[in-house]
Amino acid sequence: MEKIKSKGYAMFSKDGPFRPYEFERHAVGDNDILIKIMYAGICHSDIHQARSEWNEKEHYPMVPGHEIVGQVIQVGKNVTKFKVGDYAGVGCMVNSCKDPNCETCRHNREQECVDAVFTYASKDKFHGGEITQGGYSNNIVISEEFAIKVPADADFEKVAPLLCAGITTYSPIQFSKVRKGDKVAVAGFGGLGHMAVQYLVRIGADVTVFDVSEEKREVAMKMGAKEFVDVSKSPNFYKDHLNEFYFILSTIPAKYDMSAYLRMLKFGGEFAIVGLPATKNLPSISLNSFVFTPNRKIYGSMIGGIKETQEMLDYSVENNIYPKVKIIKGTPDEVAKQITEAYNTIVNGEVQFRFVIDMRNL
């Protein structure tokens, strides 16, 4: 079977700029589809990984990107879920063991499977140990089970970030069963945070936003938040909100005071953590904070399984819930330069809210 030729944008070392890059993907197997990528979002996780901030073994050249949408241009002979011409999305995972005896795959939580293959910089044991390459590229081959169906009436410029920013915030909101009228908070109002606020407002929850940029206050209020707190103004920001929230979602990608958030939870409240800062900036919490703020729960959440990702996508498109995006496009050299610049812009906090790369002319 013939390998697929791909073009994309890669980082060649942890400090390097993006440059156009040509590579090969594995052939389209009987259960696979080939997607011509239209748009790919830039997630803060791409930056953590491309800059080797998570202390994991990173592989260069690295083509990041796990917020992908495109059109199906080839299908394997056993494929039933897609036909040529359909639209498909790809998120953070491209495979897992799918063994009916696997506890996590069986319960639609493939992201936890010990054999999960992530969309880029991940060793793919199902394809001879090749290292996966992500969505800042013109095409991708994926098993049909891991591709998400995207309706033809979706807003294509905006739909890609749902595949990570959408599912990562939707999933803990479902897990904690947030209901209409609940007092809730979102910490970090960026790519993930502004999706979380939209889902929570849609449910009818009473939402407070905690962020470090005063410039985001107006957007947060327009989105339906009840209150915006600029936490950079005082380390005691939490004192006005003690024992208040049933649910808090942290998307913060930097070091912060976790106990401040714990203390804002009410009795029985839940603190869901999705933001994963660089290893050298990881926040921690002391045992006495737990004991002296009793009966509050803290849990982490990682993207969401394929079934829930499909549910989130359908729900988002139906309810017109999309990210606010800034499109990157141009010649390959211009795009490579703009991605490099976008990384700095995101880290400096100057983007509202998600960069999306237009891949249609690559």
Q: Binders of Zn ion among 45-64, rule CB under 5 A?
A: 45
Q: Binders of ligand NDP among 41-100, rule CB under 6 A?
A: 43-45, 48
φ/ψ bin of 170: left (φ > 0), alpha (ψ from -120 to 50), beta (otherwise): alpha
Q: Which does 102 bind (CB under 5 to 8 A by kind): Zn ion, ligand NDP, none?
A: Zn ion
Q: Are 65 and 136 in contact (CB under 8 A)?
A: yes
SS3 (DSSP) at 9: strand
**Helices and strands, number each (H, E), in the chain:** 10, 19
Q: Which does 96 bind (CB under 5 to 8 A by kind): ligand NDP, Zn ion, none?
A: Zn ion
Residues in a beta bridge with 140: 35
The whole-angstrom separation of Cα 74 and Cα 85 is 9
Q: What mask of x and - would describe binding to ligand NDP in positions 146 to 175, judged by CB under 6 A?
A: ------------------x---x-------
Q: Are 340 and 46 in contact (CB under 8 A)?
A: no
Give least dist CB 115 to Zn ion, A. 6
Tell me if 68 contacts Zn ion by CB under 5 A: no
Give least dist CB 212 to ligand NDP, A. 5
Stretch that binds ligand NDP, among 14-22, 32-40, 131-139, 246-254 (CB under 6 A): 246-254
List, as own/partner pairs, every contact residues 255-259 make where C-beta atoms lie below 8 angstroms and the sequence separation is at least 24, other chains included: 255/281, 255/282, 255/283, 256/187, 256/231, 256/283, 257/283, 258/283, 258/284, 258/285, 258/289, 258/298, 259/285, 259/286, 259/289, 259/293
Tell me if 188 contacts ligand NDP by CB under 6 A: yes
Q: Binders of ligand NDP among 19-48, rule CB under 6 A?
A: 43-45, 48
List, as own/partner pairs, every contact residues 224-232 make where C-beta atoms lie below 8 angstroms and the sequence separation is at least 24, other chains included: 224/197, 224/198, 225/186, 225/197, 225/201, 228/189, 231/187, 231/256
CA 29, 115, 160, 134 torsion: positive or negative? negative
Residues in a beta bridge with 75: 33
Of positions 34, 90, 141, 192, contacts ligand NDP by CB under 6 A: 192
Give least dist CB 210 to ligand NDP, A. 5
Give least dist CB 59 to ligand NDP, A. 18
Tell me if 249 contacts ligand NDP by CB under 6 A: no
Give least dist CB 350 to ligand NDP, A. 7
Give least dist CB 287 to ligand NDP, A. 23
Tell me if 336 contacts ligand NDP by CB under 6 A: no
Q: Binders of Zn ion among 158-217, rule CB under 5 A?
A: 164
Nearer to ligand NDP, 221 or 254 (CB): 254
| Strand positions, DSSP E, 188-283 | 206-211, 227-230, 245-250, 265-273
Which residue is nearest to ligand NDP, using beta carbons? 190
Q: Are 164 and 92 in contact (CB under 8 A)?
A: yes
Q: Which does 275 bind (CB under 5 to 8 A by kind): Zn ion, ligand NDP, none?
A: ligand NDP
Tell me if 282 contacts ligand NDP by CB under 6 A: no
Q: Are 185 and 208 in contact (CB under 8 A)?
A: yes
User: Which residues contact Zn ion (rule: CB under 5 A)?
Assistant: 43, 45, 96-97, 102, 105, 113, 164
User: Which residues contact ligand NDP (rule: CB under 6 A)?
Assistant: 43-45, 48, 164, 168, 187-193, 210-213, 231, 251-254, 256, 274-277, 301-303, 346, 349
